Amino acid sequence: MQRHLITSAIPYINGIKHLGNLVGSQLPADLYARYQRARGNEVLFLCATDEHGTPAELAAAKAGKPVAEYCAEMHAIQAEIAKGFRLSFDHFGRSSSPQNHALTQHFAGRLADAGLIREVTEKQVYSNADGRFLPDRYIEGTCPNCGYDKARGDQCENCTKQLDPTDLIDPRSAISGSTDLEVRETTHLFLRQSALKDDLDAWIDSKTDWPVLTTSIAKKWLHDGDGLQDRGITRDLDWGIPVRRGDKDWPGMEGKVFYVWFDAPIEYIACAREWADAQGGADWERWWRTDKGADDVRYTQFMGKDNVPFHTLSFPATILGSGEPWKMVDHLKSFNYLNYDGGQFSTSQGRGVFMDQALEILPADYWRWWLLSNCPETSDSEFTWELFQQGVNKDLADVLGNFVSRVTKFCRSKFGETVPEGGAYGNAEQALIADLDTRIARYAALMDAMEVRKAAQELRAIWVSGNEYLQTAAPWATIKEDEARAAMQIRLGLNLIALYAALSSPFIPDTSALMATALGLQDLNWPDTAEDALTRLQAGQAFTVPENLFAKISDDDRSAWQERFSGIRE
């Protein structure tokens, strides 16, 4: 039995996430966690809400609520939606937890003791109208490079040039729109990432199985331009983890909090402590400390490409710099962007289909299947309602749903609601088993490699093989001349449904459970061979005919949804 620690990028607290966020981290992480559990491995699958920083404060102010109350409410909402999509987290934590406060302050103390934190007095933009220093991304103006008039103080989204707030032409507060800005001095702590550049470079070079997307982004940040820069880890904000050096005060840092991108990744570790505390004192260190048993853990992270620099450089710098035996990530699976109908999904602009809206119109498995089978692995991909309708109707309704319906209904009409007996496999059945053995092995290999789209294609091909067999065997014709052979054919068909239930469970867990229940199966053991899998249901075993597994999406439904989601979410 292997041990797998799995984390997905933690979603920000300011609102419900869209489908692009879902497929960029949480959903493929859940697929992998479900698959590893199905193979009998021990899994700890963790996620949390990212609750600190200016966006949380602004979202709370817009909602007219104290920020702590707002974050608590949004955590509950995001947790409920995650359940709706059947995301099988072992724990869904909070970066504002006491455990994360303690660990973040602990890491800061260790880094300071190692000489990896320095104080920097710098000039930052202060908004008199807002009465606060403005983080770079909350300053807008005209880009000096391309002339885009909504460039942010950290980067122009139009030309992607990295900027400082003072580079902007006609800067203004993105909070109030005020141009009454001035530059003031403030002192902050910086993590000396540059001192760890060689260590990080060697560590990244050791990850020969990482996706090209992951490695190329990390290397670009390490070597392009001036190379890896020291990074500020504190902010002048009210909401966040107070700056302390372990359990001691940090002179000169009174009233400041740790920068959200310093404390948020530490929540992966803190989340395990939260899980352990919720379990009544489970041993979380065996997952996270190599001196406490985590040396045999395989740690996999899932995230969108925009999160890669922080997870390949900043968070590893924190862990390496601490000098403590923390578990480092083994594999980082990164994804490109899922775009929406000719544009981009956007939480801030409310554009696209959001997770709560998706569940209002269709069950989770419809979305899980389409998103995973079209996930943006090697390049950006696009959601359109036409593609969604096509995928649901052809893959789920016509291939899988149709097979289950035809087999169970034919059996009920000719043999009753029990598995029929009689007949023996012939050449066609042996050929099918041999083909399935090859395909099951290939499917498992693709799942192990986290090749999500290719795994979905292989699973669909396994479904198709059953349909092709059924069409060729034609038990509705065979029964007129050889009832025993027809019984064997339909018994094989019922066992194929059991096989599909087991293999499909990581992708479409609700449908897999429905198929298993209809067949009277209490568990869905992963098949070692097709021959073993196709003898699970013995003659005489009772079954029921399930309701139609998937309803087709009509042209009218597609048009109505396309119109409903064509604008901006209020």
Question: Looking at the structure, do residues 391 and 494 belong to the same domain, yes or no?
Answer: yes
> What totals of helices (H) and strands (E) does the chain contain, helices first?
22, 19
Per the structure, the count of domains in the chain is 2
Would the pLDDT of 124 be above 90? no
Question: Looking at the structure, do residues 477 and 511 belong to the same domain, yes or no?
Answer: yes
* Boundary-marking domain end, from 331, 353, 382: 382
Question: Is 47 labeled as ligand-binding?
Answer: no
Distance CA 280, CA 562 (A): 48
pLDDT tier for residue 519 given thresholds of 50, 70 and 90:
very high
Record the tokens describing residue 118, joined without a space.
């320095």
Question: Is 159 labeled as ligand-binding?
Answer: yes
Between 174 and 556, the more confident residue is 556
pLDDT tier for residue 469 given thresholds of 50, 70 and 90:
very high
By residue range, what is the domain housing residue 278? Answer: 3-110+260-363+376-382
3-state secondary structure of 5: strand
Question: Looking at the structure, do residues 447 and 341 belong to the same domain, yes or no?
Answer: no
pLDDT tens sequence across 254-312 = 999 999 999 999 999 999 999 999 999 889 999 999 999 999 999 999 999 989 999 99
pTM of the predicted protein model? 0.93
% of the chain exceeding 90 in pLDDT: 83
Question: Running DSSP on this structure, what letter comes out for residue 238?
Answer: S
Question: Looking at the structure, do residues 314 and 283 belong to the same domain, yes or no?
Answer: yes
pLDDT at 570: 58
pLDDT tens sequence across 327-358 = 999 999 999 999 998 888 887 677 889 999 99
Would the pLDDT of 567 be above 80? no
Please spell the DSSP secondary structure of 74-110, one letter per residue: HHHHHHHHHHHTT---SEEEETTSHHHHHHHHHHHHH
Question: Looking at the structure, do residues 400 and 510 belong to the same domain, yes or no?
Answer: yes
pLDDT at 392: 98
Whether the CB-CB separation of 284 and 6 falls below 8 Å is answered with no
Residue range 19-43: average pLDDT? 97
Distance CA 320, CA 196 (A): 8
Question: Looking at the structure, do residues 276 and 347 belong to the same domain, yes or no?
Answer: yes
Question: Looking at the structure, do residues 343 and 416 belong to the same domain, yes or no?
Answer: no
Question: Looking at the structure, do residues 359 and 389 belong to the same domain, yes or no?
Answer: no
Residues counted in the chain: 570
Question: Is 71 labeled as ligand-binding?
Answer: no
> What is the domain-level CATH number for residue 93?
3.40.50.620
Would the pLDDT of 226 be above 80? no
Question: Looking at the structure, do residues 418 and 305 belong to the same domain, yes or no?
Answer: no
pLDDT tens sequence across 521-565 = 988 889 988 988 898 999 999 999 998 999 999 999 999 999 888
pLDDT tier for residue 385 given thresholds of 50, 70 and 90:
very high
